Amino acid sequence: MLKGCLTALITPFRDGKVDEKAFQKFVEWQIAEGIHGLVPCGTTGESPTLSHPEHDRVIELCVEVAKGRVPVVAGTGSNSTDECIGLTQHAQAAGADAALIVTPYYNKPTQEGLYQHYKAAHDASDIPIIIYNIPGRSAVDMTIETMARLAKLPRIAGVKDATNDLGRALLTRLATGPDFAMLSGEDPTVVAFLAQGGHGIISVCSNIAPRLNARMQEAWQKGDLKTVGELRDRLMPVSMALFAETSPGPVKYAASLQGHCTAEVRLPLVPPGEATQKRMREAMVAAGLLGEGRSQAAE
């Protein structure tokens, strides 16, 4: 079962192209910092504006660096089922450990349509599938009943829940059983999600604070609530700043401050404004992720 902190990886760009060298160096840093898993080509990786060859290549680059040291959960979602199947089959061939498939956006399928979409991807591949339920971006919401129905399929392995509904987290766990991976998609509420039966998170914040986020998950698993509370409080201003504007603009800016990549995003996204940049810098300094306090990030 997937658990702990998995990073929803940014995709570095330079002059309009994927910066492959920066991406692989970033993945290696994530692993060295103790992250528990890697998620290339999700929303944070700007998958909507990656070409198909770029999308495939980013997954290949991630798997190549990971070398089995941590699981790679490749984003393979689409609002076209055939396209989703093709991306999932490529991820499997590239060596990914699982696929993260977002609920089909824009065309707003029924619950039966959602079930058949995931079942088709499941039947056409042999790797575990994580459902990505994020109604705020996709305009469709998978019900607990549909998720429980899908959970009966052998390779529907869990959910990334970005509904920000903590009551739903508990109800989903009760409906799907203990072996269904419950992963949060919301950094600010992750500890509460864990308390509702969650197993971990696919995190944006861990792009810039992988060690602290991994430590928080490990402390939870050990029952060290004091450390959990300290890290939660330390990271909360950072998590809030990361979503002051549309993600991944702020997190790419934050990663650029740490020297990992440029702050470049692809239209229709734009870099964050000055107020968000200031808020991001201040939150990172206070958390020990930038400037004089940066060495604290390695505690």
Active site residues: 132, 160
- What the block records as the tokens of 233 is 């409080």
Location of structure tokens 């498939």: 101
Cα separation, 296 vs 14, whole angstroms: 29
Residue 230: other Cβ atoms inside 10 A: 15
Cα separation, 198 vs 241, whole angstroms: 24
Instruction: Say if CB 115 and CB 75 are below 8 A apart.
Output: no
- What the block records as the tokens of 265 is 């995003």
Q: What number of helices (H) and strands (E) belong to the chain? A: 12, 10
Q: For residue 72, what are the β-bridge partners?
A: 38
Cα separation, 48 vs 55, whole angstroms: 9
Cα separation, 231 vs 63, whole angstroms: 29
Angle made by CA atoms 29, 35, 39, in degrees to the nearest 5: 90
- What the block records as the tokens of 286 is 């206070």
Q: Which residues contact 125 (CB under 8 A, 6 or more apart)?
A: 85, 88, 89, 92, 99, 155
Q: What is the DSSP letter of 36?
A: S
Hey, what amino acid is at 215?
Answer: R
